[in-house]
Structure 1
């Protein structure tokens, strides 16, 4: 099968398409024939060597939408099931940017019924990150939340999920994205703020700048594991380390089918053009996800 990998670190040109052996599912695993897989900033980080692994082949891609192709012992899924899943990791030799991927059965959820596989592939990593970050903030209805990077993929899901929970959301975004962010459910949109919020979900990775916008005794959640700023003024600081969770992913799928979550695709690329997709991501200004189609 074909797969996108890096064997040397660098820019988009470091992405290679290689032939790999078809992976076999073990106990409590499934093999998915990939229909679509989103490209995320973490993939650019892997490609650039931010997570180490020099001298090894490292697979790219965390998101997968496709069809169960084979199952191991004690799998909860059947061949032919249409599914989505998160295939986490920054050091495996193969990732989800491939024709087939093996994942744990507990990482899998039935695919949304209301969207195609290309759109479904934008859900797992970013929506799970947003949901798990919001869990860390422990906000109740009526509390105030600032989401930085509110027009981005993680930020957009965070706005929608928090608003759905009854939280009063302010989105930090450029003026040109204000309409989009409001359409996602933000009560307010700002380009820069000196407000004091009960919590900040820092999808834009502003660090200390965003921390300053949390009221004394509030909460801050970052999206890069262990990279949150130090606590000050009694503000609790933490960062999400996204984990595969099929049950939680199934809840998010239901929100897609209920019209609560919006799946945004910026552009699609053939798997063979993965390097071109990385180059487009590096240009910036992408609204929605770039998606690779084998």
Structure 2
């Protein structure tokens, strides 16, 4: 029998508590096992949420022109956001944290508030008020400090590879692997290419489903393509060409970038608390760490 959202959320909470205990005990085998279970349950939670939304969209409401239903995710490692079909009134607006989560999931890598806002405007049914993003990460950090892993995800920070502090102006999703949230010297270019691929693939999905992408979506893809060699060699903007060109360039950077990210992520896991791994180390923490006074 398929578990309900509430049951999955309770299981997520239990697993995260178990993960904390395993990490504190430095039990690497248990930590690895629990992380694997967490990934499976998180993927199940996403599928259950999609199913609930799809069931709620069959009441005869007129579908929105943007934010259409997308195919099920090909893998848990690269989830695809299923856009909301129903038109929403101002009273039932999507919470800002969920709007950001939708945009970041589509992009697939840490992004700036400006890009997050542009993506939401291009693909979803409501405007994203960018001014609300200024305090979102701080609000999420306070919530995590008070409740721990009570929520399925948090909007958190990308981390600098050297100091493990919050990367200025970049937001990420807490359920992403730590390596994916590290910003090393090559990461901003690598993430730019990931953003381009995510945008192009979303346009392909919408087109295949018979829902023409908005003009804003095409303009966004065009801005990406202009900065990727070989992505726009003709007058026609072709999402498939953008994906191919972006992947070709990404392969050039991938090995060096992955190596730096993995090294920084391993250092973060041994030096930072759970909260600091999500929201970054403080300058005082770095000062003590460099002096050899930080212990786990």
- Does the TM-score normalized on the shorter chain lie above 0.5? no
Structure with more contact order per residue of length (Cα contacts < 8 Å, sep ≥ 6): 1
TM-score interval, smaller chain:
under 0.3
- Report which of the two has the higher share of strand: 1
Query: TM-score scaled to structure 1, two decimals?
Result: 0.25
